[in-house]
Amino acid sequence: MNIGNIELSAPLALAPMAGITDLPFRLICRRMGCGMTVSEMVSAKGLLYKNVKTTEMLRIDDGERPTAIQLFGSVPAELAEAARMVEASGADMIDFNMGCPVPKIVNNGEGSALMKNPQLAHDILAAMAKAVKIPVTVKFRAGWDDANRNAVEIARAVEAAGVSAVAVHGRT
């Protein structure tokens, strides 16, 4: 299986999980046969503000490759700059989070809240894809809520933006 120009040794990817998919956990999963790993969510703003803890989350070990760093945010220009920083850190891919339902994320218009704004989702991913040479992927949900299941619309928007792959968390 390939994502962009990256070949996976197995068609299994570690799902990004806040507070769980840190570097040691990713290494264990890779050794157990995972085809690629993905970091916990990394704040684009945290990177731009040069937050030490956030920057540390970009650390990658060669034993876990291929690996993606997952970014979150809601401002296209900030995410493009953060994507450049992630690429410069040595990541193989960038994954964008549109699935997190945590109130402190969605109240900022980030994570799954972006399901309510397909045009902004497109603009963010287009800015990121244009900013880097490595593949950009995205994880999103079936929709914001049961009355607004728009995964197909989002998939078409992000495909037009230039993403290399999507992962759909099949719930709202």
Q: What is the pLDDT of residue 67?
A: 96
Q: What is the pLDDT of residue 160?
A: 97
Which pTM value belongs to this model? 0.96
Amino acid at 116: K
Per-residue buried b or exposed e for 29-47, using 16+ beta carbons within 10 Å of the residue's own CB: bbeeebbbbbbbbbbbbbb
Integer Cα distance of 167 and 41 in angstroms: 15
Which among 38, 100, 105, 121 is annotated as catalytic?
A: 100
Annotated active-site residue 100? The verdict is yes
- Kindly report the backbone phi and psi dihedral angles of residue 136, in degrees, each rounded to the nearest multiple of 5, phi listed first: -115, 130
**For the domain that residue 94 is a member of, what is the CATH number?**
3.20.20.70
pLDDT in tens, the chain (172 residues): 999 999 999 999 999 998 999 999 999 999 999 999 999 999 999 999 999 999 999 999 999 999 999 999 999 999 999 999 999 999 999 999 999 999 999 999 999 999 999 999 999 999 999 999 999 999 999 999 999 999 999 999 999 999 999 999 999 9
Domain count across the chain = 1
Is residue 118 reached through a cis peptide bond, with omega within 30 degrees of 0 on the bond before it? no
Q: What is the pLDDT of residue 141?
A: 96
Where are the alpha helices (H) located in 9-91, listed in sequence order?
23-31, 44-48, 52-56, 76-89
Q: What is the pLDDT of residue 27?
A: 97
The parent domain of residue 43 ranges over 2-169
Beta strand 6-7 with 2-3: parallel, antiparallel or unpaired? antiparallel
Q: What is the pLDDT of residue 137?
A: 98
